[in-house]
Chain A
Amino acid sequence: MSDLHFKTISELAAMLAAGETTSVEITQAVIDRTAAVDAQVKAFLSTDAEDALAQAKASDERRAAGEALGPLDGIPIGIKDTLAVKDQPLRCASKMLENYVSPYDATCIVKLREAGAVIWGRLNMDEFAMGSSTENSAYQTTANPWNLETIPGGSSGGSAAAMAAGEAIATLGTDTGGSIRQPAALCGVVGMKPTYGLISRYGLVAFASSLDQVGPFARTVEDAAILMEAMLGKDDLDSTSIAPQGETNYAAALKEKKGPWKLGVPQEFFGEGIDPEVKANIEKAIDWYKSQGCEIVDISLPHSELAVPVYYIVATAEASSNLARFDGVRYSHRSEEAKDAMTLFTKSRGEGFGDEVKRRIILGTYVLSSGYYDAYYLRAQKVRRLILSDFEKAFEQVDAILTPTSPTPAFKRGERADDPLAMYLSDVYTISVNLAGLPAISVPSGFTKSGLPIGLQVIGKAFGEADMFAVANAFEKAHDYAQQTPTL
């Protein structure tokens, strides 16, 4: 049973049902694996083995009593440090929340618990989800398990690296501009961002409220579908959550939907800045779909070139306001130097936030300020609508859109750390999807010559998760990329 930690949810669910293993055994395997490799990978900010094993034991007792809850019952799932788990640290990889413990569960955590999942550990990330390499964590730099010298992507780098290294059976991340899909691509795992509103944001520490979504990392598309089914739904605690529309039995639908599909390929996503190996890899994947009888349609998303600037206006504006609550008054870092209310704010925030967070707060404050609001924020919102309408036009012709997830494979640590603009371009293919509120998934599509993973992005229609999963699943099942694991 030494490889339990690399098995999929559906494999383990079958084994648990057949009595071939127990949740305690699976959870212990994950704990042992983490103990063995996390000194190198540094995916976790903290773990609570005792708590995880207690949940696993409860799962085994349910099963023994004939009350097993479904495919997630007893499966250890790692959680990004920006999602609230009751009585566990919630630091968002920031000094600002160094000693903060959440008094409540996020809605997605409540739903996973209701499905019997074992909530496991706190996964590293870029501070407050701002970054694309996980180097902006105030605590540690996570390594890409495929090459420890390279970054795992970000901001959900810990969630992606833990999957690649076998430190969890699945993990949760959050995706504001590509923070699930880009690290999934760079770490060779499946990562998915749902339609905006499909999963409640309650308990997700807000970075950019109109863009943030919770989503799963998994070994297979099917596993991601299982996790989505457990977490989706309208939540009374999140006014922006929406009751699902259309097919939501994703895992079952996967096996029935076989295509062929009409698939769009936007030329704008294959131009300047793309790594030649990535380009060739994605073109090969597109050819595979063609070979399966899919119709490939050249489409245009003309406003997508504006996605990065629009994103850095909208997201930073919202962030500048969302992060105002970290002020040293109630629960966040409080400066010892504070002498009055004003220095309590300025010193606590000056000490508590890292450089990238400060940069974005300053940018967001600027674009909202009197005299600049119309030129930046309001105009960005107008362009955002144009980006959405590009997608809507495209989806009149096609069932899904295929693009690279990231323009490059994992880059070396420190390579872009001092060049924010180069870092921002890591998300050039993922950002427009958040601005349009659409679902998208990154599925492993091969490796570079140097052995770094590459990801294919499948973008679906709003609430078109079932088709999106099916398109991604067809590719995954025809290839063995998802089954490969790094050597640690």
Chain B
Amino acid sequence: MQYEAVIGLEIHVQIKTRTKMFTAAPYEYGAAPNTLTDAVVLGLPGTLPVLNHTAIEKCAKLGLMLGCEIAEVCKWDRKNYFYPDSPKNYQLTQNEEPLCIGGKVEIELPGPSRNVEGEHRWVALNRIHLEEDPGKLTHEAFETVIDFNRAGVPLAEIVTEPDMSSSAEAVAFLNCLRNMIVYAGISDCDMEKGQLRCDANVSLRPVGSDKLGTRTEMKNLNSISNVKAAIEYEIERQTEILEEGGSITQETRRWEVESGTSFSLRSKEEAHDYRYFPDPDLMPVQMDRARVAELEAELPERPLDKQRRYQEELGLPFTITSVLCVDRELSEFFEEALKTHNAPKQIANYITNDLLRELSAVSEHGESAHSVSQSKLTPAHIGTLAKIIDEGVISKQIGKEVFTEMFATGEMPDAIVEKKGLKQSNDTGEIEALCREAIAGNAKAVGQFKDGNEKALNALKGPVMKATKGKANPKMLDELLKKLIEEGE
């Protein structure tokens, strides 16, 4: 029998806020252990939670970005379980009524090659709810230590429908989701820092069946490559069991990165009874519809919508849009540059080739990853450079030199051209004299050209360019040389 996989994901995203979900304690990644706590974070006797409304708004914004419906009221439940990383031994979460309901995410599957756009499809979401992050346990040789810095950080849990069928789809989903969340400024989604974490539910069913099989839940998938490997491993494991006539046990499994395998954490029978009930310390918050509409209006264009628009309206190829649109900053830089000079292709090329190359060169020289906003260039630099090339003020060749110079100094391209005297020479008298010299000095090349070898012209152009330090207008030079050779016949 042939089986197909059914995959659903649960993604936890830390919402970027100045303070924690229920108290004014600050949060940042990498601070010394247990320095970002207060009486509420530690669950000291007598303390009470107070809502961080910014976190609620950001979660609502996330929901709007992902096409969810926003609940009328934001309510809180307690999820009761004992674990040393949980200061209160209950987690404040939303069980009965999540803040964001439904939703769907457009994903782009990998194409047949890197330069070719893949298929697009939609993945349905079940819900997004808000909760608080627990602390972090680190198991050392003879003891386990707890860091409560992370405890109480606002966490959005995105739950998909079982709507994917391969590891490739799951990976595409995570990439597209991450782009959207970063675009909307909700989280940086750095998986290494735990800002985005993923659990995967996997089940198999005979191809063509619409009945769901028994699923397992895989935890500890802290990178996209882990997600891919763990799903593939689980599909293989379940397939083997079914093919041998066995049945799948509903259980929670933990992925082991080192061995590339997983093991059972707990079965369904051992699953916790979380004893959910409405939290009596927090009042339900009515979601102001006008404010929700405002949040919706503030949303950025979704990355794949932008990609479509660049392709359809600006005529940019996938090879360019796939680079430009994954980075909101880069695409905004691009659109700003268009205001100086409306030449999408040229400008997109400068950004995706020259600018990104220079930026990565800087990063390689030991400095931390360099982004557009950290460079000295503004959109006006790129716009102006493209403009003076199109206007024939400088050649493309000189343009490369100007780019390097302006990237290093931040000077405007026209100022560099002026300062260095790089303006393209259109003085036909001077160039004509030089051309005559070149023709006279290289009879062999002239002969070859006459025999139909167009490339031979380059041997004649060389000395002229050298003499003018590259400032001769190459197009003009071509025409002039041809004319003079014809005249000389």
Q: Chain A: residues with CB nearer than 8 A to chain B?
A: 83-84, 90, 92, 97, 100, 102-104, 106, 201-206, 208-210, 236-240, 317-318, 320-321, 324-325, 327, 329-331, 341, 344-345, 365, 368-370, 373, 377
List the A side residues contacting B146 at CB < 8 Å. 329
Interface presence of B281 (CB below 8 A): yes
List the A side residues contacting B44 at CB < 8 Å. 102-104, 331
A237 and B275 form a contact (CB under 8 A):
no
Q: Which of B83, B89, B277, B281 is the one whose CB lies under 8 Å from A317? A: B277
Per-residue CB contact flags for chain B residues 71-112 toward chain A (1 = under 8 Å, else 0) read 000000010101110011110000000000000000000000
Q: A97-B45, A102-B46, A202-B47 are in contact. Are A324 and B39 (CB under 8 A)?
A: no
List the A side residues contacting B84 at CB < 8 Å. 327, 329, 341, 344
A368 and B46 form a contact (CB under 8 A):
no
Interface presence of B50 (CB below 8 A): yes
Q: A321-B90, A325-B87, A325-B88 are in contact. Are A205 and B46 (CB under 8 A)?
A: yes
Rounded to whole angstroms, the CA-CA distance of A102 and B42 in the bound complex is: 13
Interface presence of B280 (CB below 8 A): yes
List the A side residues contacting B42 at CB < 8 Å. 330-331
Per-residue CB contact flags for chain B residues 373-414 toward chain A (1 = under 8 Å, else 0) read 000000000000000000000000000000000000000000
Q: Which of B39, B273, B277 is the one whose CB lies under 8 Å from A103? A: B39
A239 and B281 form a contact (CB under 8 A):
yes
B87 and A239 form a contact (CB under 8 A):
no
A239 and B39 form a contact (CB under 8 A):
no
Interface presence of B283 (CB below 8 A): yes
List the B side residues contacting A106 at CB < 8 Å. 46
List the B side residues contacting A368 at CB < 8 Å. 80, 275-277
Q: A209-B280, A324-B80, A330-B42 are in contact. Are A365 and B47 (CB under 8 A)?
A: no
B88 and A369 form a contact (CB under 8 A):
no
For residue A378, give the distance in angstroms from its CB to the closest CB of chain B.
9
Query: Looking across the interface, which residue of chain B has its beta carbon closest to that of A96?
Result: B45
Q: Which of B51, B78, B89, B276 is the one whose CB lies under 8 Å from A239? A: B51
Q: Which of A97, A209, A373 is the one whose CB lies under 8 Å from B281? A: A209
Q: A205-B45, A321-B80, A324-B88 are in contact. Are A369 and B50 (CB under 8 A)?
A: no
A102 and B277 form a contact (CB under 8 A):
no
A237 and B48 form a contact (CB under 8 A):
yes
List the A side residues contacting B206 at CB < 8 Å. none
List the A side residues contacting B144 at CB < 8 Å. 341
List the A side residues contacting B463 at CB < 8 Å. none
Q: A239-B48, A324-B89 are in contact. Are A104 and B39 (CB under 8 A)?
A: yes
Q: A106-B46, A330-B43 are in contact. Are A325 and B273 (CB under 8 A)?
A: no
Query: Looking across the interface, which residue of chain A has its beta carbon closest to that of B39?
Result: A104
List the B side residues contacting A317 at CB < 8 Å. 277
Q: Which of A102, A240, A344 is the one whose CB lies under 8 Å from B283? A: A240
Query: Looking across the interface, which residue of chain A has its beta carbon closest to that of B79?
Result: A321
A239 and B50 form a contact (CB under 8 A):
yes
Per-residue CB contact flags for chain B residues 301-326 toward chain A (1 = under 8 Å, else 0) read 00000000000000000000000000
For residue A350, give the distance in angstroms from its CB to the closest CB of chain B.
13
B46 and A239 form a contact (CB under 8 A):
no
Chain B's interface: helix, strand, loop or mixed, by majority?
loop
Rounded to whole angstroms, the CA-CA distance of A132 and B88 in the bound complex is: 27
Rounded to whole angstroms, the CA-CA distance of A239 and B48 in the bound complex is: 8
Interface presence of B33 (CB below 8 A): no
Q: Which of B50, B87, B277, B283 is the one whose CB lies under 8 Å from A321? A: B277
For residue B40, give the distance in angstroms from its CB to the closest CB of chain A.
9
18 A-B pairs, CB-CB below 8 angstroms? Answer: A83-B46, A84-B45, A90-B45, A104-B46, A106-B46, A204-B46, A205-B45, A209-B280, A210-B280, A239-B48, A239-B49, A240-B48, A240-B281, A317-B277, A320-B275, A325-B43, A331-B42, A373-B275
Contacts beyond the supplied A100-B45, A321-B78, A369-B273: 20 A-B pairs with Cβ under 8 Å: A84-B46, A90-B45, A102-B46, A202-B46, A209-B280, A210-B280, A238-B50, A240-B48, A240-B283, A321-B80, A324-B88, A325-B43, A325-B45, A327-B89, A341-B144, A365-B275, A368-B275, A373-B275, A373-B277, A377-B277
Rounded to whole angstroms, the CA-CA distance of A202 and B48 in the bound complex is: 6
B273 and A370 form a contact (CB under 8 A):
yes
Rounded to whole angstroms, the CA-CA distance of A240 and B80 in the bound complex is: 21
Interface presence of B248 (CB below 8 A): no
List the B side residues contacting A90 at CB < 8 Å. 45-46
List the A side residues contacting B280 at CB < 8 Å. 208-210, 240, 318
Rounded to whole angstroms, the CA-CA distance of A203 and B47 in the bound complex is: 6
Q: A103-B39, A329-B84, A341-B84 are in contact. Are A238 and B48 (CB under 8 A)?
A: yes
A102 and B282 form a contact (CB under 8 A):
no
A92 and B45 form a contact (CB under 8 A):
yes
For residue B304, give the distance in angstroms from its CB to the closest CB of chain A.
40
For residue B268, give the distance in angstroms from its CB to the closest CB of chain A.
13
Per-residue CB contact flags for chain B residues 248-281 toward chain A (1 = under 8 Å, else 0) read 0000000000000000000000000101110011
Query: Looking across the interface, which residue of chain B has its beta carbon closest to that of A366?
Result: B275
List the B side residues contacting A203 at CB < 8 Å. 46-47
Per-residue CB contact flags for chain B residues 44-68 toward chain A (1 = under 8 Å, else 0) read 1111111100000000000000000
Query: Looking across the interface, which residue of chain B has its beta carbon closest to that of A84?
Result: B46
List the B side residues contacting A377 at CB < 8 Å. 277
List the B side residues contacting A321 at CB < 8 Å. 78, 80, 90, 275, 277
B277 and A239 form a contact (CB under 8 A):
no
Rounded to whole angstroms, the CA-CA distance of A329 and B39 in the bound complex is: 15
Rounded to whole angstroms, the CA-CA distance of A456 and B395 in the bound complex is: 100
List the A side residues contacting B273 at CB < 8 Å. 369-370
Rounded to whole angstroms, the CA-CA distance of A83 and B47 in the bound complex is: 11
List the B side residues contacting A209 at CB < 8 Å. 280-281
Rounded to whole angstroms, the CA-CA distance of A53 and B251 in the bound complex is: 62
A239 and B283 form a contact (CB under 8 A):
yes
Rounded to whole angstroms, the CA-CA distance of A318 and B278 in the bound complex is: 10
List the B side residues contacting A341 at CB < 8 Å. 83-84, 144
A325 and B89 form a contact (CB under 8 A):
yes
List the B side residues contacting A329 at CB < 8 Å. 84, 146
Q: In chain B, residues 138-154, which have Cβ atoms closer than 8 Å to a Cβ of chain A? A: 144, 146
For residue A105, give the distance in angstroms from its CB to the closest CB of chain B.
10
B50 and A237 form a contact (CB under 8 A):
yes
Q: A90-B46, A202-B46, A236-B50 are in contact. Are A370 and B275 (CB under 8 A)?
A: yes
Rounded to whole angstroms, the CA-CA distance of A344 and B144 in the bound complex is: 13
For residue A271, give the distance in angstroms from its CB to the closest CB of chain B.
31
Rounded to whole angstroms, the CA-CA distance of A365 and B274 in the bound complex is: 10
A102 and B45 form a contact (CB under 8 A):
yes
For residue B281, give the distance in angstroms from its CB to the closest CB of chain A.
5
Rounded to whole angstroms, the CA-CA distance of A209 and B46 in the bound complex is: 10
For residue B420, give the distance in angstroms from its CB to the closest CB of chain A.
62
Rounded to whole angstroms, the CA-CA distance of A207 and B273 in the bound complex is: 22
For residue B52, give the distance in angstroms from its CB to the closest CB of chain A.
12
Query: Looking across the interface, which residue of chain A has its beta carbon closest to that of B274?
Result: A370
Q: In chain B, residues 292-344, which have Cβ atoms closer than 8 Å to a Cβ of chain A? A: none
